[in-house]
Chain A
Amino acid sequence: DAKTTQPNSMESNEEEPVHLPCNHSTISGTDYIHWYRQLPSQGPEYVIHGLTSNVNNRMASLAIAEDRKSSTLILHRATLRDAAVYYCILRDAGEYGNKLVFGAGTILRVKS
């Protein structure tokens, strides 16, 4: 079973920020938080990952709660190309991190 909980779907307007939440109340100390997104009929694309501190890259920002039981993926200015399914997953450090569990994710719709 997936170790993360995400809303089934969210909607955003183009050019506005989007905050995609993820709950992971059973996270362990060695779990990294990963985000991927998937366009229709394509493989998932890596977005960002982090352990404890907030992370930024050219695609997005990842805000991690102090207790690490939740996180938020932030798209600063949504575009139509950001419409996708977003997956939040936990990846254990070490060998056990090979058994990744992908839930159903959040379908993000972007309106023009």
Chain B
Amino acid sequence: DGGITQSPKYLFRKEGQNVTLSCEQNLNHDAMYWYRQDPGQGLRLIYYSQIVNDFQKGDIAEGYSVSREKKESFPLTVTSAQKNPTAFYLCASSRRQGLSYNSPLHFGNGTRLTVT
């Protein structure tokens, strides 16, 4: 079955270390997204990519970096510059937007990152 795989499900790091979260999709989607969710809150957009080798900052990009070298992969690096990295991270993908077509997002099951 097609879908989005995020790994690992739980991740623990020491403060000051960079950490990379994996996101892979086999839905043949052009667009991919990273969101952050804090307890009891909605989702906030970190980065998104509409096509390979291109990505844009979302609302809370500071302290994060991404790459999009392959269509199916969109890894997120949480750097030591991110002040409050402990959160639930969600990756999503969709077909590329078009003026006559509006595509739903498909989400992975998230990675819960804890930094101490």
Query: Is there an interface contact between A44 and B107, defined as CB atoms closer than 8 Å?
Result: yes
Query: Is there an interface contact between A98 and B56, defined as CB atoms closer than 8 Å?
Result: yes
The chain A residue with its CB closest to the CB of B101 is: A93
The secondary structure that dominates the A interface is loop
**Docked CA distance A75–B24 (Å):** 32
**Given pairs A46-B104, A95-B97, A98-B50, 12 additional interface contacts (CB within 8 A):** A34-B104, A42-B109, A43-B109, A44-B43, A44-B90, A46-B105, A87-B42, A93-B102, A99-B48, A100-B43, A102-B35, A102-B43
**Docked CA distance A43–B9 (Å):** 11
Known: A98-B31, A98-B33, A98-B48. A43 touches B107 (CB 8 A): yes
Q: Which size class do B's interface residues fall under?
A: 20 to 34
Chain A residues within an 8 Å CB radius of B43? 44, 87, 100, 102
Interface residues of B in 66-99 (CB under 8 A from A): 88, 90-92, 97-99
Q: How many A-B residue pairs have CB under 8 A?
A: 74
Q: Does A112 contact B (CB under 8 A)?
A: no
Q: Does A49 contact B (CB under 8 A)?
A: yes
Number of residues on chain A facing chain B (CB within 8 A): 27
Query: Is there an interface contact between A99 and B42, defined as CB atoms closer than 8 Å?
Result: no
Query: Is there an interface contact between B110 and A36, defined as CB atoms closer than 8 Å?
Result: no
Q: Which residues of A contact B (CB under 8 A)?
A: 2, 30, 32, 34, 36, 41-46, 49, 51, 87, 91, 93-95, 97-105
Chain B residues within an 8 Å CB radius of A30? 99
**Docked CA distance A105–B4 (Å):** 23
Query: Is there an interface contact between B40 and A104, defined as CB atoms closer than 8 Å?
Result: yes
Q: 15 pairs across A/B with beta carbons < 8 Å? A: A2-B42, A34-B105, A36-B107, A41-B109, A41-B110, A42-B109, A43-B91, A51-B102, A95-B97, A97-B102, A98-B56, A100-B105, A101-B42, A101-B45, A102-B44
